[in-house]
Structure 1
Amino acid sequence: MRWWLMLVASVLTGCASAPPRIAVPGLNQAVQERFELDGRMAVRYRNDSSSAAIHWRHRPEIDNLTLSTPLGQTLTALTRDADGVTLVDSEQKTHRAQNVADLTERLLGWQLPLENLAYWIVGHAAPDQTYQVQQDAEHGITRLTQAGWVVTYSRWQQVGGVNLPNKLTLVGRGVEVRLAIGDWKLAGLE
């Protein structure tokens, strides 16, 4: 049960004092703030691993993230809004907190930066935090290091003229999260 909670919390996150944003060709503020994705997620923590299908709808004011089995059975559903964070687990128990960090600290014993993941998933560094980035001429951004996490981008895809990650891996604090995004929906581009 705790592994599915960790999967949800995982979804969703050079040292100049005020770093500039990473330049991703075609990525604008609207795409960064509003997206929907479907894909697969695998998490490895200590000696255990779990995987699930992921559906994430992100807006500045709300996040809805659902993890499910390959057959479509919902394992966990997380909602972040102005009232805080609510997680409903596979046993239909509801857990609440003011923010994702507090919820994961209470349920898992440590905090995950889900808020940062909304930036990392589209290939950006979270604002107002230092970071390091590696790029190459052929693939663009290949690695981002920020807030104790290393995000490795192994494949990109074109969506509505925007270059977005297709496969990425997050490693930090003893956790490895692999994401493969099969379908992006971008607000304002469809």
Structure 2
Amino acid sequence: MSYWVRGLPAPGKHDGIGLDYGGRARHLTQRGWQIEYPEYRTFQGVELPNRIVIRALPGTVTLDRGDPTPVDPISVKLVIGSWSGQPKAG
């Protein structure tokens, strides 16, 4: 997830990445997860994601809760208020 939070695919195979006109990731799919980057901000001269939405694709996460009723899709929404440290290149 440390790569995804910076707007980068993690090492290894990914199933697709969509870029905006500035070359920043807008969405990517990797390891059964769909990651969207609706907003970026500049930190020390580097464009980094400000908002991130991560969704599990069907079959990625299973819950053993003793109830066969399907659960809603799992998603995580991150809003990054600030970045600290020195930015690293991909």
Shift in Å, 1:129: 2.5
Task: Give runs of ≥4 in structure 1 deviating > 4 Å.
Answer: none
Partner of 1:187: 86
Q: Residues of 1 paired with 2:19 and 2:47: CA distance? A: 14
Shift in Å, 1:178: 0.2
Q: Residues of 2 paired with 1:159 and 1:123: CA distance? A: 13
Does residue 1:133 correspond to 2:32, yes or no? no
- Give the structure, 1 or 2, with the largest relative contact order (CA under 8 Å, sep 6 or more): 1
Amino acid at match of 1:175: I
Amino acid at match of 1:178: K
**Structure that is richer in strand per residue:** 1
Shift in Å, 1:168: 0.7
CA 1:131–1:186: 2 relative to 1, 3 Å: farther
Shift in Å, 1:188: 6.8
Partner of 1:150: 34
Equivalences, count: 73
After superposition, what is the alpha-carbon deviation per residue over 1:44-71, rounded to whole angstroms, capped at 9, x for unaligned? Answer: xxxxxxxxxxxxxxxxxxxxxxxxxxxx
Over the residues paired in the alignment, what is the CA RMSD in angstroms? Answer: 1.9
Partner of 2:76: 177
% identical aligned pairs: 30
Name which one, 1 or 2, has greater alpha-carbon Rg.
1
Listed as ranges, the gaps of 5+ residues in structure 1 are 1-116
Q: How does 1:35-114 map to 2 (within 5 A)?
A: none
**Structure that is richer in helix per residue:** 1
Q: Residues of 2 paired with 1:188 and 1:154: CA distance? A: 20
TM-score, normalisation: structure 1: 0.36
Q: Residues of 2 paired with 1:122 and 1:144: CA distance? A: 12
Listed as ranges, the gaps of 5+ residues in structure 2 are 62-72
